Amino acid sequence: MADGVAAPQEASHVPGDGVLRLEYAGRVEPNRGIENLLEAVDLVRKDGIAVRLRIAGSGQLHYERLIRHQIETLGLGSTVELCGHLREKSKADFFKCMDLAVIPSQREIGGTVAGEALAHVVPVVVSTATPWSRVAEVGCGAWVDSETGTRARAIRDLSRAPLRQMGERGRQWMVAEFAWEQIAQQMYRGYRSLLRGKSSVVAATKKGTSFEPSPYTSRPN
């Protein structure tokens, strides 16, 4: 069952100044792929695209130091900003100043921040380690592997795309399928289906019907 996404009534957007504004929001820890993202941003910059990246989140202090060192080594000091923890009430202001959200996680079960970005009219570049494969189908972003060059190409290609229109499609998708009302209905239907299945088993058992044990359950000794 997917997590719900709370879409704001109105999602405002502040136009940029010609610089592609990227954002990462989430935990700052090794399995999030931030090092790979920094390398991709470096490649995009070397392609001649004006770009900025804001990293919002907190995590392990030693890993944050590693990230700061990588930013310095790549010469991205004026390109990348570490913003620290992003408070819930500050998310709308954060997203409205972004053009593209990047979720480079190497392992992710939910990736809720992708849905939050889309709900705020921000297209996404998500890794194939997340369950967001439909972003390409819907037309609100790219679903790419974790190879640095692949991610850099996706960012470069999307920099030339109608990002505002893509963001609107993403928001419509979130409202249609991920609003909490929709998730509640899915849960209701799921529980009803389970209860009906349980009732059928009970009724069959009362009639003396035998059931073959599942290969995934142990047989009694």
- 23/130 Cα distance (integer angstroms): 17
pTM given for the model: 0.78
Mean pLDDT over the full length of the chain: 84
Q: How many Å apart are CA 106 and CA 37, to the nearest integer?
A: 11
Q: What is the pLDDT of residues 162-200, one digit of tens each?
A: 999 999 999 999 988 876 565 555 555 666 777 776 655
pLDDT of residue 22: 98
Amino acid 1: pLDDT: 43
Q: Taking each helix axis from N to C terminus, what angle separates 112-119 and 163-177, rounded to the nearest 10 degrees? A: 110
- Integer Cα distance of 163 and 124 in angstroms: 10
Least confident of 14-18, 25-29, 63-67, 110-114: 110-114
Higher-scoring residue by pLDDT: 36, 197: 36
Q: Which of 100, 104, 133 is nearest to 40 (CA)?
A: 104
Select the more confidently predicted residue: 134 or 111. Answer: 134
Residue with tokens 């239907």: 189
Q: How far apart are CA 155 and CA 49, in angstroms?
A: 10
pLDDT surpasses 80 at 58: yes
**Predicted pLDDT of residue 39:** 98
pLDDT of residue 60: 87
pLDDT score at 195: 78
| In the chain, where the domains are located | 20-177, 180-209
pLDDT at residue 159 is higher than 60 = yes
Percent of the chain topping pLDDT 70: 78
Instruction: State which fold the 20-177 domain adopts.
Output: Rossmann fold (3.40.50)
